[in-house]
Amino acid sequence: MKNKNIEILSTKLSGVNNPILVINGKKNTKNIKFNVYEGKKKIDYIDDLMFSKDEFLLNILLSKKPSVVKVYYINNDKEELIYKCYNNKLKRLLLKVFSKLENFFNVFLAFGKFIKILWKKYRLLVPISSLKLELLELKEEIRNRNFKNFYNPYNLIDYNKWIETKEEKTEYKELKYEPLISVLIPIYNIGQEYLSKCLDSILNGHYQNFEICLVDDCSTNKETIDTLKEYEKKDKRIKVKFRKENGHISKTTNDALSMATGEFVALVDDDDELTEDALYCVAKVLNDDKTLDFIYSDEDKLDYKGNRCYPNFKPDYSPDTLLGLNYICHLAVIRKKIVEEVGGFEVGLEGSQDHDLFLKVVEKTDKIYHIPKILYHWRIVKGSTSESLDNKEYALEKGRQAVENAVKRRKRTGTVTIEKKSLHYLVNYDVKKEPLVSIIIPTKDYADITEKCLESIYKKTTYKNYEIILMNNNSSKKETFDLFDKYKKKYKNFRVIDANYEFNYSRINNDAVKNAKGDYICLLNNDTEIISGDWLTNMVGYAMQPEIGAVGAKLLYPDDTVQHGGIILGLGGTAGHIGVNLPKDDLLNFGRLLVPFDCSAVTAACLLVSKKKYLEVNGLDEKLTVAFNDVDFNMKLLDKGYYNICIPQVTLYHYESKTRGYDTTSEKHKRFLKEKEYMYKKWNDKLLNDKFYNKNLSKNIPFNLDK
């Protein structure tokens, strides 16, 4: 069923006993509405929680009774049918059976491949030293073949099954240190039901050394006022203030802050809920480290029926990610004196006042801790930001101003724009005086590929102050040397250095750096092609920031799908690329393929770093001749306290084959396994624990939840 405003990408009917229909699609209009009918009965759905203007996701909870389900798009008050299906238990049961059979078949194929590899490599006589790595390869193969082994966090049934079976339970112990936590809640015309649930979730929590500071911003709803008075009488720890004039959220929350006597303040909205263990978990980490100033947790949402949905499993503190979006959000607990020191909540930035506050707080302290556990439920209410950012477009511009203010406070210059698809913020730093950049390109023959790379740099790059160092590794073909001569004659900033020894990627680049004149080093593969002229300007702008180590780009296959969008440590057993095979403008996880995100590593296929920092960590490890040398280099930068970042506004083509696999019968694969083993021995648990990737998320299929 076609519609000019709606395109359905996928549908899934699942749940034998608790049926749910999930519809994913694209839209080319802003505020869309749907009507969903089960038979003749109109039913509720949850939609548009993907924080995107042109995507939607419907989660439709169905009854167990057989029925015809129809989904209509509302256009000019008229219903247009866009999807229809028949729902009954037999159909759902058959879908589940087929899914299980598919799982079994995928495991069978993976195991067959595993036996074939063991026969070719070892004639089945596998050395004990190699067995662990081979089993990891098998596990990775099964996971990659079998997406059914994962819970989709955006599917209500999947997510709630994960809650039941996998969510970590809190073990309560006596705490020696119990700081007073002041919970700040601004109030405006909230109904009794939601306000009571919010307050009860705090009152009934395990941790009891708190106070609740409630400030009403001139509500006109009598139910709101009556509920506040009722709770004020109920518990001495509840303080209530009624403002005499409407001042909006910043002034109201500042009034709550002025009432607070706690050592820490917790920010809570009047219709949301804390988990039973929320404040206890905060106090527990403070018992482990009393110097902490800023603590935040993971969160999820409550749908219109009170079901938990749409989890946000966050990274540990990520300063550049925070400039792009308020990924911290809820639950946030901050030392009160720091909140007061930065002036509380900014009047004039209503709608983004929390984002502004967080940006100011992190400028005052690095004692920041992330609890990788859901402690906060953000309620979806019609018209709220939790339902869709379309509801508070004014907040986008306020957020842009908050980020721009932060850039200025930090004495940096640059532009801050709203990225149109993700609705997050894109920061590009100015480069007023262009430092010399040495672009290092290893090559061996393949003159046509290398020339395509060189030509794109020289024709498109707007940055003027660079040199290119071509590292010639045992080239033998006449056309290759003709290419060298051609570019030597044509460009004064072009050099060729011979590296005529056995291929060692790390040594080749380290030798090039010794000969490089630039203050900044750009490692670049010869099978890449520049797309936009400002690529080097943007990368240098980030690399110039004192806290940033390696800067990477978004790399695309020739068909405009993603080859690289950063690296997750432990993904697939060692390390894996983010976003592989997704469309180039896919949102993935909170827009991370569209705006800068801190990550543990970026690929050396296009990596820029200051020469000083390159030398500080002794460059690339020459024991890693082919694989993982870039991951190892990034990890050394992390160890020195730097942040690595992927900036997707810089995009290149990478002509690496999408279908290229490892030759399991060759010496190359044996070397790969040897270098993989070296990484395990060198980094141990650090290789498996990525602080920029939440521990609750799968290390096999990115941003899913393991069964």
Q: What is the DSSP string of 618-653?
A: TSS-TT-SSSSHHHHHHHHHHHTT-EEEEEEEEEEE
**C-beta of residue 43 within 8 angstroms of C-beta of residue 37:** yes
Q: What angle do CA 510, 511, 512 make, to 5 degrees?
A: 90
pLDDT of amino acid 667: 67
What H or E segment, with its residue span, contains residue 679?
helix 667-683
- pLDDT at residue 377 greater than cutoff 90: yes
- How many CB atoms sit inside 10 A of residue 90's CB? 9
**What order do you get walking across the sheet with 78-87 strand by strand?**
41-43, 34-38, 67-75, 78-87
Sequence-distant (≥ 6) Cβ neighbours of residue 266 within 8 angstroms: 181, 182, 183, 184, 210, 279, 282, 331, 332, 333
| Pairwise pLDDT comparison (667 vs 174), residue with the higher score | 174
Q: pTM here? A: 0.83
Predicted confidence band of residue 41 (pLDDT cuts 50, 70, 90): confident
Q: What domains are defined for the chain?
A: 6-87 (2.60.40.10), 91-145 (no CATH), 181-402 (3.90.550.10), 437-554+582-653 (3.90.550.10)
Q: What is the mean pLDDT of residues 515-526?
A: 97
Alpha carbon of residue 102 to chain centroid: 30
pLDDT of amino acid 501: 94
The CA–CA distances, whole Å, from 376 to 122, 271, 329, 703 equal 52, 11, 10, 20
Amino acid at 473: N
Exposed / middle / buried, residue 10 (Cβ in 10 Å: 0-12, 13-18, 19+): exposed
Cα–Cα dist 15/518, whole Å: 59
Render pLDDT for 434-453 as a digit per residue (tens, 0 to 9): 999 999 999 999 999 999 99
Exposed / middle / buried, residue 332 (Cβ in 10 Å: 0-12, 13-18, 19+): buried
Buried b (16+ CB within 10 A) or exposed e, 199-219: bebbbebebeebbbbbbbbeb
| Pairwise pLDDT comparison (59 vs 581), residue with the higher score | 581
pLDDT of amino acid 424: 94
Q: What is the mean pLDDT of residues 61-85?
A: 85
Cα–Cα dist 4/27, whole Å: 9
Q: What is the mean pLDDT of residues 554-570?
A: 94
What proportion of the chain, given as a percentage, has pLDDT over 70? 90
Nearest residue to 375 (alpha-carbon basis) of 227, 487, 276: 276
pLDDT of amino acid 1: 57
Cα–Cα dist 409/345, whole Å: 16
Nearest residue to 282 (alpha-carbon basis) of 354, 342, 205: 205
Predicted confidence band of residue 665 (pLDDT cuts 50, 70, 90): very low
Predicted confidence band of residue 3 (pLDDT cuts 50, 70, 90): low
Predicted confidence band of residue 433 (pLDDT cuts 50, 70, 90): very high
Cα–Cα dist 25/83, whole Å: 11
Q: What is the mean pLDDT of residues 383-408?
A: 74
- pLDDT at residue 15 greater than cutoff 50: yes
**Residue 601: φ, ψ to 5°:** -155, 155
- pLDDT at residue 121 greater than cutoff 60: yes
Q: Share the mean pLDDT of the chain.
A: 89
Coil, helix or strand at residue 345: coil
pLDDT of amino acid 657: 57
pLDDT of amino acid 406: 97
pLDDT of amino acid 567: 96
**C-beta of residue 256 within 8 angstroms of C-beta of residue 214:** yes
What proportion of the chain, given as a percentage, has pLDDT over 90? 65
Pairing of strands 643-654, 528-530: antiparallel
Q: Worst-scoring range by mean pLDDT, 102-116, 290-304, 354-368, 536-550?
A: 102-116
Helix axis angle for 128-145 and 667-683, nearest 10°, is 100
Sequence-distant (≥ 6) Cβ neighbours of residue 525 within 8 angstroms: 441, 442, 453, 604, 605, 606, 654, 656
The CA–CA distances, whole Å, from 6 to 30, 32, 100, 330, 484 equal 11, 9, 32, 33, 52
Cα–Cα dist 588/9, whole Å: 15
- pLDDT at residue 45 greater than cutoff 70: yes
pLDDT of amino acid 185: 97
Q: Worst-scoring range by mean pLDDT, 268-272, 425-429, 574-578?
A: 574-578
- How many CB atoms sit inside 10 A of residue 583's CB? 14
| Pairwise pLDDT comparison (187 vs 19), residue with the higher score | 187
pLDDT of amino acid 57: 75
pLDDT of amino acid 528: 96
- pLDDT at residue 27 greater than cutoff 80: no
Render pLDDT for 158-212 as a digit per residue (tens, 0 to 9): 898 899 999 999 999 999 999 999 999 999 999 999 999 999 999 999 999 999 9
pLDDT of amino acid 673: 76
Can you give the C-alpha Rg of the chain in angstroms?
28
| Pairwise pLDDT comparison (56 vs 501), residue with the higher score | 501
| Pairwise pLDDT comparison (513 vs 17), residue with the higher score | 513
pLDDT of amino acid 388: 42
Nearest residue to 28 (alpha-carbon basis) of 43, 11, 7, 2: 7
pLDDT of amino acid 62: 84
Q: Worst-scoring range by mean pLDDT, 47-61, 306-320, 510-524, 532-546?
A: 47-61
Q: Which residue is associated with the tokens 């393929």? A: 593
- pLDDT at residue 353 greater than cutoff 90: yes
pLDDT of amino acid 86: 86
| Pairwise pLDDT comparison (34 vs 258), residue with the higher score | 258
Predicted confidence band of residue 120 (pLDDT cuts 50, 70, 90): low
- pLDDT at residue 400 greater than cutoff 50: yes
| Pairwise pLDDT comparison (134 vs 14), residue with the higher score | 14
Predicted confidence band of residue 663 (pLDDT cuts 50, 70, 90): very low
pLDDT of amino acid 540: 98
Predicted confidence band of residue 93 (pLDDT cuts 50, 70, 90): confident
